[in-house]
Amino acid sequence: MKEKNTVLIKEKAKILGFDYCGIAKAEKLDEDAKRLESWLQQGFQGNMQYMENHFDLRIDPCKLVPGAKSVITLMKNYYPSSQQKNNAPKISKYAYGKDYHEVIKEKLNELIVLVKQEIGDITGRGFVDSAPILERAWAVKSGLGWMGKNGNLINKQSGSFYFIATLIVDIELEYDNPFVKDYCGSCTKCIDSCPTDAILPNKVINGSQCISYFTIELKDALIPDSMNGKFDNWMFGCDVCQDVCPWNRFSKPHQEINFEPIPEILNLSSSQWEELTEASFKEIFQHSPLKRSKWKGIQRNIKFIQQ
60 catalytic? Reply is no
Contact (Cβ atoms closer than 8 angstroms) between residue 227 and residue 205: no
Rg over CA atoms, the chain? 20
Q: Do strands 234-236 and 20-25 pair parallel, antiparallel, or not at all (unpaired)?
A: unpaired
CA dihedral sign of residues 288, 289, 290, 293 = positive
Q: Do strands 234-236 and 90-91 pair parallel, antiparallel, or not at all (unpaired)?
A: parallel
Say how far apart CA 295 and CA 278 lie, in whole Å.
6
Contact (Cβ atoms closer than 8 angstroms) between residue 195 and residue 232: yes
Catalytic one among 32, 129, 170, 232? 129
DSSP state of 10: H
- Count of Cβ atoms closer than 10 Å to residue 97 Cβ: 22
Task: Catalogue the active-site residues.
Answer: 129
